[in-house]
Amino acid sequence: MWRERRTEARQQLELLLASGSGFDIVEAAAWVAGEEYPDLDVSVLLARVRLISAEGARRADGLSNPFARLDALRGYLFDELGFRGNEKEYNDPRNSFLNEVLDRRLGNPLTLSVLFLDAATAAGFDARGVGLPGHFIARVTYARRTLFVDPYHVGQVISEDDCRQLVARTTGRPSLFRRGLLEGADERAMLTRLLLNLKYIYVKTEDYVRALAAVERLLLIGPDDPTEIRDRGFLHAHLGRPGAAVSDLESYLALTPDARDAESVRGRVAWLRQRLTECN
């Protein structure tokens, strides 16, 4: 039964992606959680998120000043409900799953932004995620006033200069900041970032089965992404599947024959082919 539910979660995510670029990022994140937690009722999870968003909108109702409207929303989400960034265990995979974020009131920059953006949209803001290198924040506009909000740090309102400093602090490379990033990220970019976070965590902890699941879903977003095809090949190799590994790594080399790591990948393919010969 659990295998069937995981398969259903993957299929529902694929259907959502097929619906177009403007899909519901909350629903997409819920299906990501549904694959990890096969006993999770995704419809109930979505209802929980919408209930929070509706109450946040009610708190902001009637406030015409953008700052006052935002303060009402921030007060509800971060002061009253207690959502905050999990700074002690930043790489805990539970920070990436909406059901865990709702239960524990802890998340990472991306998942907390997903929740905040949904509530801000319900409250009448034009809300978009902003994918800064090393951090994720939100941009909200109301009555022609645009503000940047950091949901990971309890909804602090930040300036463009603060964004620049965030990039410098989290990456050590201030040159990575570009003003164009502040225009916002679409739903595909947000889902990609969510899955990349999980991939990074699982590779680091050598949980290759879950890392492979993250890569497979990344390839639903970008089927021809050579980096993810390569990494799927490496993960197949880690999991003792040399045939699948060779297929993916050769596809990577065909797509990017002049890649910087092409020679090392060719060496890995040769080694895997030798393994296949020995097995036969």
Q: CA–CA separation, 168 vs 158, rounded Å?
A: 15
145-150 and 135-142: which strand pairing?
antiparallel
Tokens linked to 111: 């998942």
Q: CA–CA separation, 138 vs 56, rounded Å?
A: 16
User: pLDDT at residue 275 above 70?
Assistant: yes
| Cβ proximity of 218 and 234 under 8 Å | no
Q: What is the DSSP letter of 223?
A: T
Are residues 180 and 72 part of one domain? yes
Range of the domain at 239: 224-279
% of the chain residues with pLDDT over 90: 94
Q: What is the largest CA-CA distance in the chain?
A: 73
DSSP secondary structure string, 174-202?
GGG--GGGGG-B-HHHHHHHHHHHHHHHH
Within a domain: residue 214?
no
Q: What is the pLDDT of residue 29?
A: 98
The values of phi and psi at residue 20, to 5°, are: 130, 180
| Cβ proximity of 67 and 42 under 8 Å | no
Q: What is the pLDDT of residue 103?
A: 98
Q: Supply the pTM of this predicted model.
A: 0.94
Three-state secondary structure call for residue 132? strand
Three-state secondary structure call for residue 127? strand
Q: What is the pLDDT of residue 196?
A: 98
| Residue in the block written with tokens 């009131």 | 105
pLDDT tens digit sequence for 136-190: 999 999 999 999 999 999 999 999 999 999 999 999 999 999 999 999 999 999 9
Q: What is the pLDDT of residue 3?
A: 83
Q: Looking at the 3D structure of the chain, how many domains does it have?
A: 2
Q: Which of 187, 203, 234 is the last residue of a domain?
A: 187
Are residues 115 and 32 part of one domain? yes
Q: What is the pLDDT of residue 219?
A: 98
pLDDT tens digit sequence for 194-226: 999 999 999 999 999 999 999 999 999 999 999
% of the chain residues with pLDDT over 70: 99
| Cβ proximity of 95 and 112 under 8 Å | no
* Residue 220: count of CB within 10 angstroms of its CB: 15
| Cβ proximity of 34 and 12 under 8 Å | yes
Are residues 275 and 145 part of one domain? no
User: pLDDT at residue 278 above 80?
Assistant: no
CATH assignment at residue 64: 3.10.620
Are residues 177 and 87 part of one domain? yes
Q: What is the mean pLDDT of the segment spanning 48-62? A: 97
Within a domain: residue 177?
yes
Distances (CA, A) of 277 to 63, 136, 237, 238, 243: 71, 47, 15, 18, 11
Q: What is the pLDDT of residue 1?
A: 65
Q: CA–CA separation, 235 vs 255, rounded Å?
A: 19
Q: What is the pLDDT of residue 22?
A: 81
Are residues 175 and 231 part of one domain? no
